[in-house]
Structure 1
Amino acid sequence: MTRTKWAVDPTHSSIDFSVKHMMIARVKGTFHQFEATIDADPADLTTADIAFSVDVTSIDTRNADRDNHLRTADFFDVEKNPKITFESTSIVKTDDDQYDVTGDVTIAGTTRSETFAVTFEGQGKDPWGNEKVGFSGEGKINRSDYGLTYNAALETGGVLIGDQIKISLVIEAAAQA
């Protein structure tokens, strides 16, 4: 197959995250609004160009008070930094259908290089004849690397919010005409 532009189908895709809470549990969340473009030949993803944009105001941790706090200057400061972005800079095949995708991540005005393990899940036509591809991915970032350092000490030792954020992606994309 040749190089094709693919647009993410947000109704069949997700960007989820989790962070350690109180040193004993994990809080999970998701972003409901995001878009991405992928310019790729599914037969050789090492040449792909990938760009993501996430609307930070769409954060959902199933707690409105926490979500509103995450939108403030203590965390994302959505009035100044309404988007999280990712632009690929390097893609290396590590195994059959497995890739290390490295790119520039920008969160709260800070840009850093991060690598995510991505799996090409397959390609096919939907019942209406539209060409689709699927990907899944996982990675970890440290929120403090992006200036997201708000925290509180616990009486028993440790901190309220962990530094490491686990990110999980499920992406279905459609070929663009």
Structure 2
Amino acid sequence: MRQTLLATSLLGLSAIMPAYAADYVIDTEKAHAFIDFRIQHLGYSWMSGRFNDFSGTFSYDAEKPEASKVDVDIDVTSVDTNFAERDKHLRERFLETDKFPKASFKSTSFKQQDDGSLMVTGDFTLHGVTHELSFPVQKVGEGADPWGGYRAGFVGETEFTISDYGINVDMLGPSSQVVYLTLSIEGIKQ
């Protein structure tokens, strides 16, 4: 009788206790996460690249996705367009990485959308300037991995105008002022 009462009490207590989101570390060590970008080149074609060095964490609970969080720090000096001279030019003239070597995104809210995606809003800092940025995020999947861990993956795309972040270099024409950014992350549950 006592055991039944104790079990019933614990079950009742667990029903009123809040569920907590699981914490994940973004897996950048084995190239399971990417921050890619593209920008028009003179309005004739696209230049694409990525940031090779970044780190971050996120929290996610499928039962309460609005409680999610994400925090990403980017080493802007790791910009890579597969052309060393252009990368040097981007570091020196556009990104001024000697003054602004880091960028970051820190979420402030997540909202469930009718299509199943999440709208994430947060503070994006680039070139020493911070602005609020919102974009939709889709869950790619989650589950056990072959090494005894648990993983979850998401992808989101957004765009921003470089002049909003104090980058006022216009060598590639007006169509080259918008950067399209894709964040593809896979995290390992902690």
TM-score by length of 1: 0.90
Conservation of the 8 A alpha-carbon contact between 1:16 and 1:30: yes
Match of 2:52 in 1: 32
> Is the partner of 2:68 in helix, strand or coil?
strand
Match of 1:138 in 2: 157
What CA deviation, in whole Å up to 9, does each residue of 1:51-98 have, x standing for no partner? 1101111110111111011111x2111122111100001111113540
Aligned pair partner of 2:84 in 64, 67, 92: 64
Aligned residue identity for 2:160: I
Return the structure number with greater strand share: 1
Q: What displacement does 1:160 show?
A: 7.2
Match of 1:4 in 2: 22
Give the root-mean-square deviation of aligned CA atoms: 1.6
Residues in 1 aligned to 2:141 and 2:125: alpha-carbon distance in whole angstroms: 29
1:126 aligns to 2:145 (yes or no) = yes
Task: Give unmatched runs, 5+ long, in structure 2.
Answer: 1-18
Q: In structure 2, do the counterparts of structure 1 residues 62 and 161 end up closer, same or farther at CA, with 3 Å as the change threshold?
A: farther
TM-score by length of 2: 0.84
Q: What displacement does 1:48 show?
A: 1.3
Larger Rg: 2
Q: What displacement does 1:149 show?
A: 1.5
> Is the partner of 1:104 in helix, strand or coil?
strand
Aligned residue identity for 1:65: E
Q: In structure 2, do the counterparts of structure 1 residues 90 and 162 end up closer, same or farther at CA, with 3 Å as the change threshold?
A: same
What CA deviation, in whole Å up to 9, does each residue of 1:110-135 have, x standing for no partner? 00001121001121000122010010
Conservation of the 8 A alpha-carbon contact between 1:90 and 1:103: yes
Conservation of the 8 A alpha-carbon contact between 1:151 and 1:161: no
Number of aligned residue pairs: give it. Answer: 170
Higher relative contact order (CA 8 A, sep 6+): 1
Residues in 2 aligned to 1:33 and 1:45: alpha-carbon distance in whole angstroms: 27
Return the structure number with greater helix share: 2
Match of 1:166 in 2: 180
**Aligned structure 1 segments of 4 or more residues deviating by more than 4 angstroms:** none
Residues in 2 aligned to 1:40 and 1:124: alpha-carbon distance in whole angstroms: 13
